[in-house]
Amino acid sequence: MTFDSPGTSERTPEAAVNDTPSSTERSEPTPTPPPEPAGEEVIGVRRGMFGVTGSGDTSGYGRLIRTLSLPGSTPPPYGGYFDELIDQLRHALSDEGFTAAIEKVVVFRDELTLHVRRERLPALAQALRDAAPLRFELCLGVSGAHYPDDAGRELHAVYHLMSITHNRRLRVEVAAPDDDPHIPSLYSVYPTTDWHERETYDFFGILFDGHPSLTRIEMPDDWRGHPQRKDYPLGGIPVEYKGARIPPPDERRTYN
């Protein structure tokens, strides 16, 4: 014995088939970028990437949309020793010097980053190293980053500092445009940046003004371009595998 739900009627399989819209009647909705994340600075939109959630498309054939964003400025209080560190730096530079040097203060994933105007970088580093309440004696390294969609700030250099005296860590980030990739070298303040700045120049093309010998350190001296930039061609050579020809990466099909 079967029971029908109230308000429903039986439908034959033929009727169900006839109710299905034809391929000509179906319309694909135009994907729209997701809303801008709160507290972040959206610098672009990337399409056709796997790993995007909420789009309804998992094929990777172009309907996936992901916003490219960087952490935005964090308002005080920052938490932990970050507030004390900022106050000490403000005292070392004066209020005018601090405002002139710092573009924004970012606390992201429990880490403190100072975004610094490039012309003020050496003075800021000197204060961070020499001021007794700060004493960031050690520069752990220099990293490069390339954000092609961040207009006017495409190239970033990131300095990782550590205070052995106070057991604190700090990140200093500086940006420069693609058409003027100059950033002052910190070799005179932290001599350990010698090879790190050379590597960042080698891979990203950032010119560190004042470096004693800014030459390539990984790639051959006559190498063209900077391999870790996002606009650097993948290149490669075709590979024969069991009779099949595998094209180089820059000739393969892409979904972007």
* 70-84, 161-175, 239-253: range with highest mean pLDDT: 161-175
d(CA 100, CA 119): 10
Distance CA 173, CA 49 (A): 28
Name the CATH superfamily housing domain 82-209: NADH:ubiquinone oxidoreductase Nqo5 subunit (3.30.460.80)
pTM: 0.73
pLDDT the model gives residue 32: 53
Predicted local distance difference test score (pLDDT) of residue 55: 54
List the structure tokens of 201: 């120049």
For position 239, what pLDDT does the model report? 61
* Residues contacting residue 195 through CB under 8 Å, at least 6 positions apart: 217
- So where are the chain's domains? 38-71, 82-209
- Write the DSSP symbol of residue 203: H
pLDDT tens digits along 223-255? 889 999 988 877 666 666 667 776 666 565 554
Task: Count other Cβ atoms within 10 Å, centred on residue 82.
Answer: 19
Q: What is the pLDDT of residues 106-149, one digit of tens each?
A: 999 999 999 999 999 999 999 999 999 999 999 999 999 999 98
Q: What rounded mean pLDDT belongs to the chain?
A: 81
Q: Assign residue 180 a region: left if phi > 0, alpha if psi is -120 to 50, beta otherwise?
A: beta
Residue 131's pLDDT is 96
Residue 24 scores a pLDDT above 70: no
